[in-house]
Chains A and B, each alone.
Chain A
Amino acid sequence: MAERKVGWEPQGQHTIIGKEVQRTDGKQKASGQAKYSNDANPPGTLFAKLLTCPHAHAKLVSLDVEKAKAVKGVKAVQIMAEPGQEIRHEGWPIVAVAAERREYAEDGIRAIIAKFEVLPHFVDEADLKGAEAAEITDGGMPAKLTKSLGTNKKGDVEAALKEARHVHKGYYGVHTITHMCLEPHGSHATWDGDKLNVELSTQNVSGTAGQYVKPLGVDAANVSIHCDFIGGGFGSKFAVDEWDVACAKLAKTTGRPVRLMLDRPTEMQIAGNRPSAFADVTVACDANGKITAWDSHHWGTNGPKGSTVALSVTPYVFDPPNRNRTATGIITHCGPDRAWRAPNHPQACAYTDTALDDLAAKAGIDSLSFFQKNLDLTNLPHIYAPELEIAAKLMDWKAKWHPRGQGAGEGPIKRGVGLALHTWGGGPHQSNVQLKVHPDGTVEISMGSQDIGTGTRTCIAMVAAETFGIPLTSVKVNIGSNKYPQAGPSGGSTTIGGVTGPTRRTSQQALWKIFDLVAVKYNVDLTTLAAKGGKIWSGDKDVCTWKQAASLVGPMALELTGGPVTEEEGLTSKQVGGVQMAEVAVDTETGIVKMVKMVAVQDIGLVVNRLLARSQVYGALIMGIAYSLSEERIMDNKTGKFINANSTDYKLPRIGDIGDLVVEFYEPESEYKRGVIGLGEPPVIAPGAAISNAVANAIGVRVPVLPLTPKRVLESLKKG
């Protein structure tokens, strides 16, 4: 420790970091003792439910809540929509009812008389022509349902298409999916005088208190946000929602704690979704398989705002010399979108890497060779090239790949392999830390952060334990409250870099202060000191125990605070690449696609916790399998309703549906040295294209739209 420099140890020299370490809160979660907002139930709690609009587009004509107020057990009614108001999607909150029991709240909802004038709607997200032709009025005025989201050009696509050896034209699409957080959106609110205490299911503990100020007239400093555990967010839980405000109002009216969590259908209808995207693509290459031109028009919906996937990520990762791109948003009477794990990327990947794979097939080139030939058109060729080699070995690509539809068959079951690649930023968010070294040797770290499933507590504790050379059990981590130092929201794969960076730096600074005290007390050379195995060492001689060293801080804890990390410190970085390969078995008689195997090779810089990092990738692959094969929001054009807004008909894979998953981190020293980079988003991007490409490889035809349901597979086979 001659040089006092903030940073990580050289690769291979950490004791805890990079190892497989179990979650520090695992037993609490597994035994149901972890308390979520949906579990908050202090004495006196009232249960609130919502009446929502059953129509896609309507005007609320009249509302009578008097009978509801008289229902047994009902304590208060909060009106959330006024007569005359135009309603633009199903599930729109109308009234919240708080009652002594959930059953009474439901009785109260049933007693409300709400009359609607049903207005014409448009919900067919794939139908661009229909949207252009639709005659809909909004607020009494004729409304156009399509919006140009821009167009831009690079090079000369027309000339490139003329010169190209192979030109492929195709149509691709991805339907809307919802977040389907198992813990619905909502909160539990309690007033203590003019102080508001909220148990909020949020990815944004430090950033939500202020959102109560305007609607409630409460002082921001008087709002406490608390969230020890959150049951899924995936990008949909950054804000205080109108039903959270209604919950706080009901708590104020009744003088009682109130809990309002969305029911499952409402959760799916209004609490966020991932926009759809459909694309007409023309792509071309020369005789060597080098991509020379891309031309696309994509469209889709994110609900009332009328947007779809960003133009900037089209085509995805590959940037050919000649490129035209256009996007059109469709306004629909569907629920509004929210950020969904890696916003824009999964859809863009799904219509880019499929089109490229079709071009490769047309050119008669193995998909792997085709992608390899074109890596110079990507942002990270030096990452993708070795990752493709690793993935190909793990998948046994050479043995399994065959020209489309020409695999050795076992009756109607056809096997195939496909690949895709992705990139993501994943730089750290802005987080502050308070660190205390207590005289008894325990270390306490407080951050206004949250654990959305990544293992925030565990990773913070590991970094402190590593730095001080103490067991994980000697580190206490406080997160989940806005009363701790501010930390960024958990979104965009920013958390682990964002919290471990400041923790490492501040831990090192605290340790150096303790070294100063040790050097004086034990008369040892300061420059030789190191902390390991619960002891302070001078070279290979142990000077004192960690506890003895910590006791030197005096009667009160040594307390340090630290601000967000900067990239220059070398603790964190951004921009990763990953490749994935999928193997499927398709039953050409039933159209059922079965996952056989998926391989993910992912660069994430320095791995903090190998067990939890692998979990992130497994989870991303499984979410990817879900939107590739079974999961979609199904809108009924006639009624405008989201007809599978329930857990039964909204198909998610089960434990037997995922095949074998193989996860490999790409971590040569060059990447390790970049420090910690977020991992949540990247591996969820490529599965759509990789799986679709595997199905095309298996059956010889492209099933253009995700998810690849049996119906769509059979339709594509029939079409040939």
Chain B
Amino acid sequence: MDRDQATRQGPGFNRRDFLKGSGAAVAATAVTTAVVEQQAAAQQQAAKLVSAAPQAITLNVNGQDHKLTVEPRVTLMAALRDDLNLTGCKDVCDRANCGACTVLIDGKPVYSCTRFAIEVAGQKVVTAESLHTAEKTDLVVEKFCEHDGMQCGFCTPGFVMAVRGFCNAHPKATLDDCRKGLGGNICRCGTYAGVLQAAFDTAQAAN
């Protein structure tokens, strides 16, 4: 492992250091490849560097393009909630644990607090609001109501999005699949029994 503070990248231990040092055989060739690797890494790093200044981006949310100017540190959750007033993604833990801010990005459920807004420019973001419009109500929303998979409702839109994403990926999921696949969301009121039934029904209805 590269323990030299001068050449080591970033403030602490990082994944790249670990990968470089984790195999014993690597040591034999390290001397010749070290310089090349360092140069490549520096280039890679430079390419990743972005200015801390606000940037103009276009976010595609629920099929609509939104032009925003945000600092790179602004999370997708903050941009959706604070800039676009799409508050269906709830701010509960802001540390990738509770699932209340779940949205779909290119069809996959993602905690929106784990992505920077500038990262998802060009991708398709779907929020809970789009699952119930004047024209159409998504089956997941219907099933959450039918089985009362909610009480205070604060975790509910995040759970709804997690179920939508899960059922898209796992049509015909069994109850046990749902128990295993939906462990990424916390509910404090204790609505898991209704959520589980809602997820199962939704999965079973998939074509």
Contacts and interface: CB of A to CB of B under 8 A. Distances in A.
A147 interface: no
A32 B128 contact: yes
A248 to B, nearest CB: 21
Interface stretch (A20-28, A137-145, A402-410): A20-28
B167 interface: no
Contacts of B182: 654-656
A618 B191 CA distance: 7
A503 B77 CA distance: 41
Contacts of A41: 81-82, 85, 87
Given A32-B129, A39-B81, A646 B151 contact: no
Given A23-B148, A229-B152, A102 B82 contact: yes
A655 B192 contact: yes
Contact of B188 (A38, A47, A181, A615): A181
Contact of B129 (A33, A36, A232): A33
B144 A103 contact: no
B88 A102 contact: no
B173 interface: no
Interface residues of B, number: 60
A29 B155 CA distance: 9
A47 B160 CA distance: 27
B132 interface: yes
Nearest to A230: B152
Interface in A498-538: none
A30 B138 CA distance: 10
B188 A27 contact: no
B141 A27 contact: yes
Contact of A655 (B148, B157, B195): B195
Nearest to A45: B82
A232 B188 contact: yes
Contacts of A231: 90, 152-154
A205 interface: no
Interface string B133-160: 0000100110011101111111111001
B76 interface: no
B153 A229 contact: yes
A658 B78 CA distance: 32
Contact of B128 (A30, A612, A653): A30
A229 B87 CA distance: 13
B180 A232 contact: no
Contacts of B187: 182, 622
Nearest to B157: A32
Interface string A677-691: 000000000000000
Contacts of A36: 87, 90, 154
A30 B157 contact: yes
A195 to B, nearest CB: 24
A621 B190 contact: yes
Contact of A31 (B78, B129, B152): B129
18 contacts: A27-B137, A29-B156, A30-B140, A30-B141, A30-B145, A30-B149, A32-B90, A34-B153, A182-B98, A229-B153, A233-B152, A612-B148, A618-B194, A647-B92, A647-B93, A648-B93, A652-B186, A655-B183
Interface of B: 71, 73-74, 78, 81-82, 85-95, 97-98, 100, 127-129, 131-132, 137, 140-141, 144-146, 148-157, 160, 178-180, 182-196
The 5 closest A-B pairs by CB, nearest first: A32-B88, A622-B190, A231-B154, A29-B153, A453-B151
Given A22-B148, A31-B132, A655-B183, 16 more contacts: A30-B131, A30-B157, A32-B160, A36-B154, A41-B82, A101-B82, A180-B188, A232-B152, A232-B189, A263-B94, A615-B191, A619-B151, A622-B190, A654-B185, A655-B195, A655-B196
